[in-house]
Structure 1
Amino acid sequence: MSGAEASCALWRGGYRMSFMTRSGTMNRRRFLAISAAALAASSATALAEPTIWSGYALGAEVKISLVGGTPEQALRTFGKMEAVLNGVEEHFSLYRDSALTRLNRIGRLTHPPTAMISLFQLVDHIHAATEGLFDPTILPLWLAIAGSGDVKHAQQLVGWHRVHVSEDEIALEPGMQLTFNGIAQGHAADLVALLLAEEGYRDVMIDTGEISARGLRPDGKCWRADIMLPSGRLVGRAELSDMALAVSSPEGTRIGPGAPHIVNPREQLPPVWKLAAVSASSAAVADGLSTAFCLMDRSAIDRTLAVLPEVHLQAII
């Protein structure tokens, strides 16, 4: 293995992904790692070692490694990425005061941010494509299962069609609550990828718990992601360029009396699959679909793939 390549393993929700980075071996539950190649003839000024940003976002530690450009350029880029991640937190975090926690507490949010409305619209699309099995209104049911609460009552509070969205207001029916944990990490990866493109970086690997790979690795090859079960068994390998990858594993985290953390929004049925890995041009789309696919039989998955030709099933176990 050359100096430009070192195996890096990521655990999230009970699965592990391996990809190539220049910064050596790390092993964390979730982090964000960005490796950007130098852009043009000015690559001679590229940093020999990555400039690293670390912090806390989306309920977990976040780490950003940026290769390429000057230290001053890297610092400016990191500052902008901090603002992007903070914006996602301000909209969708369940771990701090956010637009989402206020919506859950009050039942309505007036004058919602345009970026927030856009993600609600994307959820509409994914909800329809998955025949209703991707549903952020799952939070009351999830909490009831985790806390041995009234599951039957909580089931009655689930239903994305009962979320009312307009430019002026987002409104929930009484008792409803939302979680975007099944799509927010992918959404963050998409926003960071857009920022880096605007900053002129073409070759990047972004990991917010979901992966977005743009361009190529420093050696000119596609970015690689190994998809593994919690046991460490390799079940797939994705070659990524201008593509995002998301992996969901219901057994990775268990809630309540041994229940998997991915919950069927319609029926008290267990997940169909142990792991689903999905690639798409959008990390948010891949994120939402990988969650829903864990609950869908193969014929239902194939129906979804038929209406979303830009989406690919990388692994289903």
Structure 2
Amino acid sequence: MRATDPGSAGQGQKARGMTTRRRVLTIMAGAALAGRAAGAAEWQGRVMGAEARLLIRAGRASDQVMSDLHARIARIEATFSLHAPSELSRLNRQGHVEASGLLLDALHLARRMHRATGGAFDPGVQPLWQALAQGTVPARVLPMAGLQRRGRHLRLAPGQALTLNGLAQGLATDLVAQDLAHLGEVLVDMGETCALGGDFRLDLEDPAAGSLGQVTLRAGRAIATTSPGALLFASGASHVIGPHGQPPLWSSVTVEAPTAALADAASTAFALMPAPAIRRAALGLGLGPVRLVDPRGDLITL
């Protein structure tokens, strides 16, 4: 790979690939203890169809903490899943729902990202995604502006359906991180990654370009990667698609942010945006650095 970022030497990124519905999770803890002896306790599971992982430097979590973790994950699935009964699947099926605070918070962030990215981030792509998955004629996308809210009552426009896959794993990571902050130094990976109480070195890779080296995720920061080519429809189209059917422009996008939900949503939208627009959006949202890998394998850091 040819790195175009002059500051990237020794900070590349490598990972074991893990496939979800729309990305390869290219962030895993390799030398996760940032130079310390590797004695952390570890938990692995699944959240929103993705592999999830906790590394706890101080040792194992109590049974009560793990029970609370499983309850938190169940609530997240019951809110956002598109493949099991949930608030969101019920909203899409019947066109209206009395929303929980968690769903309303997610939609608030989605609207913020929609505005900041010039519409590139739009949960209204769900009908288009479904059509491509089924090999049928792509449906017309109704942007999330068509969603009506009165108090907690949400109502979709006729023919509208939403997906929050572009931020749900990040939001799950943030919620779990809040629950585990008292444990000290913890790496929370619920599909996106957050560092608590200490720094962690992470390995990253691009599915096409391969190893990009390592980055250090500082305490209190989060990181997310979207790799559009990691999972394709039978037609060859990427699972990462824009509201007008526009294809992704980048082989992978990695975003650091104050929260995992912001990093998750931004990496999804930025995959569809040219570099100047990404730079403007990242500045306005307080994100960065943003690492882009173009189709030739060049690494660009904004």
**Bucket of the pairwise TM-score, normalised by the shorter protein:** 0.7 to 0.9
Say yes or no: does 1:253 pair with 2:263: no
Aligned counterpart, 2:221: 243
Shift in alpha-carbon separation, 1:314–1:61, aligned structure 2, 3 A:
closer
Q: Answer whether contact 2:96 2:156 (CA < 8 A) is retained.
A: yes
Distance 1:21 1:88 in 2: 29
For residues 5-31 of structure 1, give each alpha carbon's deviation from its aligned partner in whole angstroms, at most 9, with x where no partner exists: xx9735242453342468xxxxxxxxx
Q: How do residues 31-50 of structure 1 correspond to structure 2 at under 5 angstroms? A: 50=41
Q: How do residues 56-75 of structure 1 correspond to structure 2 at under 5 angstroms? A: 56-68=46-58, 74-75=62-63
Q: Answer whether contact 1:163 1:172 (CA < 8 A) is retained.
A: yes
Aligned counterpart, 1:88: 76
**The one of 260, 274, 287 aligned to 1:283:** 260
Distance 2:31 2:65 in 1: 19
**The one of 275, 289, 302 aligned to 1:312:** 289
Say yes or no: does 1:176 pair with 2:176: no
**The one of 79, 83, 94 aligned to 1:106:** 94
Say yes or no: does 1:163 pair with 2:173: no
- If you compute each CA radius of gyration, which structure gives the higher value, 1 or 2? 1
Post-superposition offset of 1:51:
5.6
Distance 1:209 1:148 in 2: 27
For residues 292-317 of structure 1, give each alpha carbon's deviation from its aligned partner in whole angstroms, at most 9, with x where no partner exists: 10100011111102212244313443
Instruction: Considering Cα pairs closer than 8 Å and 6+ residues apart, tell me whether 1 or 2 has the greater RCO.
Output: 2
Aligned counterpart, 1:11: 18
Post-superposition offset of 1:64:
4.0
1:76 aligned counterpart, secondary structure: helix
1:9 aligned counterpart, secondary structure: coil
Distance 2:290 2:40 in 1: 35
Distance 1:100 1:284 in 2: 17
**The one of 179, 186, 190 aligned to 1:195:** 179
Shift in alpha-carbon separation, 1:21–1:228, aligned structure 2, 3 A:
closer
1:259 aligned counterpart, secondary structure: coil
- Give unmatched runs, 5+ long, in structure 2: 1-13, 34-38, 295-302
Shift in alpha-carbon separation, 1:65–1:14, aligned structure 2, 3 A:
closer
Post-superposition offset of 1:192:
0.5
Aligned counterpart, 1:117: 104
- Give unmatched runs, 5+ long, in structure 1: 1-6, 23-34, 36-47, 217-221
Distance 2:189 2:166 in 1: 15
When the two structures are aligned, how many residues end up with a matched partner?
273
Say yes or no: does 1:230 pair with 2:207: yes
TM-score normalised over the length of structure 2? 0.83
Say yes or no: does 1:140 pair with 2:127: yes
Shift in alpha-carbon separation, 1:49–1:244, aligned structure 2, 3 A:
closer
Distance 1:57 1:17 in 2: 16
**The one of 221, 238, 243 aligned to 1:265:** 243
Say yes or no: does 1:129 pair with 2:116: yes
Q: Answer whether contact 2:47 2:190 (CA < 8 A) is retained.
A: no
For residues 32-86 of structure 1, give each alpha carbon's deviation from its aligned partner in whole angstroms, at most 9, with x where no partner exists: xxx8xxxxxxxxxxxx66263x5443124544454435x6x52111111111111
Shift in alpha-carbon separation, 1:275–1:168, aligned structure 2, 3 A:
same
2:175 aligned counterpart, secondary structure: helix
TM-score normalised over the length of structure 1? 0.79
Post-superposition offset of 1:133:
0.5
